[in-house]
Amino acid sequence: MLVDSGRAAADRQERIGRRIALLSTGIGFLLAVAKVLVGLRAGSTAVVSDGLEAAGDVLSSAIVYAGLWLASKPPDFEHPYGHGRYETLAGLAVGAMLLLTGAAILWHSGTSMSQEHQLARYALYPLVAAIILKTALASLKFRTGKRIGSTSLQADAWHDLTDLLSTTVALIAVSLTISDPARFASADHIGGILIGIIILALSVKVVRRTVGQLLDTMPEPQKMEEIRRVARDVPGALGIEKCFARRTGLRYHVDLHLEVDPNMTVRESHDIATHVRSAVKESLPWVADVLVHVEPYPREAGVTAFRQGGYSERMHGK
């Protein structure tokens, strides 16, 4: 019952992540259209650049939504570990989108540096609206992404952060150009260049983090210690020789080498291994499954540790 409730909670969290990604896609689409149209009409390079970044944000949110949806599919014969890698791949795609968007903005801003123009004051309106909306979205995604352990949702939050930062740069640049066109004639173009550099820098951070998961980087030591603690608390478990974990989407698959009394029968050691597997999955909903390999505990320490585990020597024919 507890296992089912833990899994149900995890599934509910995945659905929440998909809904947030879908909401972000809708808001981002409206902001992107507004920025590009207003930027072109007002003659602002910075606003158009920020609109291009927002368009990339729309596409990345759509990728995150697709990744979370595909990752939620249950394991099948060809994918016994589930489809969680789709979520990780979505995070990598978001990083790639940031990289391409940053390069495109740099090119656009650099090629338009020599163009002189007069900015309209209404160029500021979509920027102010974007700062308010993106602040709320980034905060929501960071909190939810950390709670459910979603790489792609957190990557999308970083994308929102770059959008917020780039929008702030655009706001300052446009404000300077409008306030004093003669003195700050290049501020609008320089703002576009700074936006491109910011996005390129953060794209590297997102890609490095996601690639680490694709390479089966171990989780933080606190999580590994939680797995060991739960396994050691099972009666009959005398020690943990090895413990590895790899991430597949929002959850981890664990390989655990469990030490038991060497005088046990195969059935008895198998029962303990089964209890360890169930205990870890029940106590830690972020663990998808546990593969337990049984090892003999050192004979000289086995009797003492076995008694401490709550079993009597008589149970095993001693």
The CATH number assigned to the domain holding 110 equals 1.20.1510.10
State whether 180 and 263 are in the same domain. no
Clarify whether residues 234 and 281 are in a common domain.
yes
Q: pLDDT higher for 28 or 115?
A: 28
| Residue pLDDT, tens place only, 11-44 | 666 677 778 877 877 888 888 899 889 888 887 8
Residues 76 and 172 in one domain: yes
Pull the structure tokens for residue 176: 């300077």
Which domain-ending residue is among 158, 182, 214? 214
Mean pLDDT of 102-123: 74
Same domain, 73 and 171: yes
Q: Is the CA virtual torsion 15, 17, 18, 20 positive or negative? A: positive
* CA R_g for the chain: 27
Are 171 and 280 in a shared domain?
A: no
Lowest mean pLDDT among 88-92, 202-206, 311-315: 311-315
- Is 256 found in the same domain as 180? no
Contacts of 147 (CB under 8 A, 6+ apart): 13
**Where residue 300 sits, what CATH number does that domain have?**
3.30.70.1350
On whether both 170 and 46 belong to a single domain, the answer is yes
pLDDT reported for residue 308: 41
Task: Specify the pairing of strand 251-260 against strand 239-248.
Answer: antiparallel
Is 33 exposed, middle or buried, given 0-12, 13-18 or 19+ CB atoms closer than 10 A? middle
**pLDDT, tens only, 142-177:** 888 877 777 767 777 877 777 787 788 888 888 888
Instruction: Please indicate, yes or no, whether residues 18 and 131 belong to a single structural domain of this protein.
Output: yes
* Domain match, 308 and 250 both: yes
Domain-terminating residue out of 191, 214, 237: 214
Q: Residues 46-69: pLDDT tens digits?
A: 788 778 777 776 776 677 667 767
Top mean-pLDDT range of 16-25, 89-98, 123-132, 176-185: 123-132
Count structural domains, the chain: 2
Same domain, 235 and 271: yes
Q: Which residue in 75, 99, 21 sits closest to 249, CA to CA?
A: 75
Instruction: Identify whether residues 127 and 180 lie together within a single domain.
Output: yes
Phi and psi based region of residue 132 (left: phi greater than 0; alpha: psi -120 to 50; beta: remaining): alpha
Buried-state track 8-19, b at ≥16 Cβ within 10 A, e below 16: eebeebbebbbe
If asked whether residues 208 and 268 sit together in one domain, one would say: no
User: Containing domain of residue 255, as a range?
Assistant: 221-316
Dist. CA 214–CA 248, nearest whole Å: 9
Residue-averaged pLDDT of the chain: 77
- Single out the residue in 148, 179, 214 at which a domain terminates: 214
Q: pLDDT digit string (tens) for 260-281?
A: 998 889 999 999 999 999 999 8
